[in-house]
Amino acid sequence: MNIKKKIAVLALLAPALASVGCSTSVSRGLAADGAASEIVFPDEGRMVVKGGTAPAVESLRPLAIGMTKTQLRALVGSPHFREGFSAREWDYLFQLKDAVGNPAPCRFKVLFDSREIARNMYWAPGECAQLLAPAAVAPAPLPAAPAQPRQFALQADTLFAFGKWSESDLSSAGRARLQQIAAELLRSAEGIRDVQVVGHADRIGDDAANQYLSQRRADTVRSVLISQGLPPSAISAQGRGESEPLTACGGSLSRPALVACLAPDRRVEIVARSAV
């Protein structure tokens, strides 16, 4: 066959050759931006990878819009169907497993734009996309909130006579109340980490005397708690004098009225913190 005849034959075959291996699409209305008016999955008779593949679900999670064909091929391999040359539509059949391990055949389709960048991805059935979602991780339990300290406020006038502080000056009602508090703390299921006893005085008298009185009352209460079985190493005693008053009594009151008004300032506070 001479040159002219060969050229003529090639010219006649050009349309056919162009159709062999040209870009094909089963979805309808595939636009340059990778969108289609109707998504169609190809017949399984067109499969070149019979039965598809069975990748681990974890390996499919990186699938993302914007990937190139090279990236997709590296991740999931070549398409499982005859797509044609320069196809803008790739189809796969993945044999996955559902949450309880049952077989879940899943069709997967990628549509590319005119630059062969993945712009749309579809699964059939749609539930297959949910298989790729990472398993929900139960949130770590929140640490237990620290136990609130137990607080007891005792009026000094209930514990002691006015201006008194020794254990022999304790009233029977005051001693009974301290015994009751000690029993409550000893029954605590969490155990006791520390107990702080704080004595307070009113403003009557000078600062030094009030500081001394508040400290000695705190020491006496501590001693009673220890006598009831609380560990000495866990109990501290502190006097704060008149530095933390609760009242705002006027200075024009008579002494008896002032003593009565300042009664809430004369107190002993017990703060117990549990071991957990």
Give the range of the structural domain holding residue 164, as residue numbers without chain letter: 150-274
Q: 157 and 120 in one domain?
A: no
The CATH number assigned to the domain holding 253 equals: 3.30.1330.60
Q: 154 and 80 in one domain?
A: no
Is 95 domain-assigned? yes
CA distance 151 to 215: 18
Q: 99 and 41 in one domain?
A: yes
- Position 38 scores a pLDDT of 95
- Position 257 scores a pLDDT of 94
For the chain, the domain total comes to 2
- Position 61 scores a pLDDT of 94
Is 9 domain-assigned? no
Q: 154 and 267 in one domain?
A: yes
Is 15 domain-assigned? no
| Residue (of 265, 152, 176) closest to 224 by Cα position | 176
Under a CB-based contact definition with an 8 Å cutoff, are residues 129 and 43 in contact?
Answer: no
- Position 189 scores a pLDDT of 57
CA distance 199 to 165: 10
Under a CB-based contact definition with an 8 Å cutoff, are residues 160 and 171 in contact?
Answer: yes
Buried b (16+ CB within 10 A) or exposed e, 61-84: eebeeebebeebeeebeebbbebe
pTM higher than 0.85? no
45 CB neighbour count, 10 Å cutoff = 7
- Position 250 scores a pLDDT of 86
Chain segment 132-150, per-residue pLDDT in tens: 888 778 888 888 777 789 9
> What is the block-wise mean pLDDT of the chain (276 residues), using blocks of 10 residues?
49 41 70 94 90 93 95 94 85 91 93 95 94 83 83 94 92 95 85 92 95 97 96 95 94 91 96 85
The CATH number assigned to the domain holding 47 equals: 3.30.1450
- Position 21 scores a pLDDT of 43
